[in-house]
Structure 1
Amino acid sequence: MSLAEHDARTHRNARVRTLILLRHGQTEWNAADRMQGQIDTDLTELGRRQAKEAARELVSRNAIALISSDLRRAFDTASALAEYGSLEVVPEPRLRETSLGEWEGLTHLDVDAGYPGARAEWRLDAAFTPPGGESKLEVGARALPVVRELLVERQDWPGRSIILVAHGGLIAALTAALLDLPAKNWPALGGLANTSWVQLSSHVESIEQPAWRLDVWNAAAKVAPDVL
């Protein structure tokens, strides 16, 4: 690469906003295929180790902000990242997991027995709402303003990264909303492993139309079952 090519690439990268969406570490409920939703569960010992491993990987991403769901499993994962840098974890309730209503606390088998066919429909239809819960479309609409506000508030974002720590369902819904995918295409974004992450980037200066691109899905993790 010539010096001119290197300078041109450096200039382009200086305008790029990078957004990293990290899923929390393992909980006992993850291991038992139990539907957590917004029930506030804790990380397992494995989950805490996963958080530290993710922190070691992401510490080099030149992050300027670390924002987390206020549920413990996400906040504790984010806290592991904070230990590797100088950023403070900012809690954000709008990044909580999907409310699953009557399904929360049930295993997958329990849901399938009590609501035959409903879980499959939920995975395939972004507008489907679990009894007393939220649809994926509602979750995306809830989380999208968090990123829009950051675009306005963080004038220092271009050339750097912001990390949001949240939950599998929330991350999938927010990613689909940022990419402005048609609702019928939302199921194309499958499950995320614990402490895997998604990376999006915006290469334009516009705040109103950032034109997000999907760079990475389910990074640094093996493919996970579609839990949430």
Structure 2
Amino acid sequence: MSKNAGVRTLILLRHGQTEWNAVDRMQGQIDTDLTELGRRQAKEAARELVSRNAIALIASDLKRAHDTALALSEHAEIPVVLDPRLRETSLGDWEGLTHLEVDSDYPGARVAWRLDAHYRPPNGESKLEVGARALPLVRELFAERQDWPGRTIILVAHGGLIAALTAALLDLPPQNWPALGGLANTSWVQLSSHGPGIDQPGWRLDVWNAAAKVAPDVL
């Protein structure tokens, strides 16, 4: 028996590039489209991840994540299941603004947001709230997918959501959440659960910000 026979592997993949990513515009839950580069990135990531023995593919219902997941689905021949709990952080009044506009209108706020998991953009969500929104999905998969041990589940989502969910799964203290930095487009995170069950999952962070490297795309 493989030494990993009982290990549940979870891959969290960020969507491909959008036009708004390219110009540093805050997307949040606004539904934007992939660029041509973003679609190429999705196909490259799919070729890289198809060998991961995946049994399920679940995506945010925002188009940029759904379309990225469809590229994986074509390679892995697994249907895409959409789940709105995987949507990006709601950025409230910041959505649609560029980074420079946010810095001009709300001096110091983006720095505070990056460094404080409790910080909530005006009419938006804190990182802690985003983690709490997504965590039940993984707990449900733990309970329902008896075929998960020894295999992989892939979630396709957004940079802020992935960082928050990772911190929540690892049960990091809120002051340590900023240790998980930004993710490039179609980069992924890999976690593995080595614990005895849902109440003691024993999550480990195996990989952070891995990429198939189609093109320079650094945040």
Q: Name the TM-score, length of structure 2 as normaliser.
A: 0.97
Deviations 1:125-149 (CA, angstroms, capped at 9, x unpaired):
0000000000000000000000000
Q: Which residue of 1 aligns with 2:159?
A: 168
| Residue 54 (structure 1) aligned to one of 45, 48, 51 | 45
The 8 Å contact of residues 192 and 223 in structure 1, kept in 2 or not, is answered as: no
Secondary structure of 1:48's counterpart equals helix
Secondary structure of 1:83's counterpart equals helix
Q: Which residue of 2 aligns with 1:86?
A: 77
Q: CA deviation at 1:204?
A: 2.3
Counterpart AA for 1:34: R
**Any unmatched runs of 5+ in structure 2?**
none
Q: 2:46 and 2:7 mapped to 1: Cα distance?
A: 22
Aligned length: 216
After TM superposition, which residue ranges in structure 1, 4 or more long, deviate above 3 angstroms?
221-224
Q: 2:31 and 2:217 mapped to 1: Cα distance?
A: 25
Counterpart AA for 2:108: G
> Is 1:131 the equivalent of 2:131?
no
Q: 1:154 and 1:26 mapped to 2: Cα distance?
A: 31
Percent same amino acid at aligned positions?
80
Q: CA deviation at 1:106?
A: 0.0
Counterpart AA for 1:208: D
Larger CA deviation: 214-223 vs 190-199: 214-223
Q: 2:14 and 2:38 mapped to 1: Cα distance?
A: 11
Larger CA deviation: 153-162 vs 212-221: 212-221
Q: Which residue of 2 aligns with 1:98?
A: 89
Q: 2:100 and 2:147 mapped to 1: Cα distance?
A: 47
1:27-46 residue pairs with structure 2 within 5 A?
27-46=18-37
Counterpart AA for 1:80: A
Calculate the aligned-residue CA RMSD, in Å: 1.0
Secondary structure of 2:176's counterpart equals helix
Q: 2:90 and 2:122 mapped to 1: Cα distance?
A: 10
Secondary structure of 1:22's counterpart equals strand
Q: 1:140 and 1:16 mapped to 2: Cα distance?
A: 22
Q: 1:195 and 1:42 mapped to 2: Cα distance?
A: 14
> Is 1:26 the equivalent of 2:17?
yes
Deviations 1:90-144 (CA, angstroms, capped at 9, x unpaired):
0000000000000000000000000000000000000000000000000000000
> Is 1:178 the equivalent of 2:169?
yes
Q: 1:129 and 1:42 mapped to 2: Cα distance?
A: 26
Larger CA deviation: 46-55 vs 203-212: 203-212
The 8 Å contact of residues 185 and 217 in structure 2, kept in 1 or not, is answered as: no
Q: Which residue of 1 aligns with 2:110?
A: 119
Q: Name the TM-score, length of structure 1 as normaliser.
A: 0.93
> Is 1:224 the equivalent of 2:218?
yes
Q: CA deviation at 1:211?
A: 1.0
Counterpart AA for 1:114: D
Deviations 1:185-223 (CA, angstroms, capped at 9, x unpaired):
000000000000000001123121101000000002578
1:196-211 residue pairs with structure 2 within 5 A?
196-211=187-202
Q: 2:79 and 2:199 mapped to 1: Cα distance?
A: 27
Secondary structure of 1:19's counterpart equals strand
Q: 1:41 and 1:79 mapped to 2: Cα distance?
A: 16
Counterpart AA for 2:35: T
Q: 2:109 and 2:118 mapped to 1: Cα distance?
A: 12
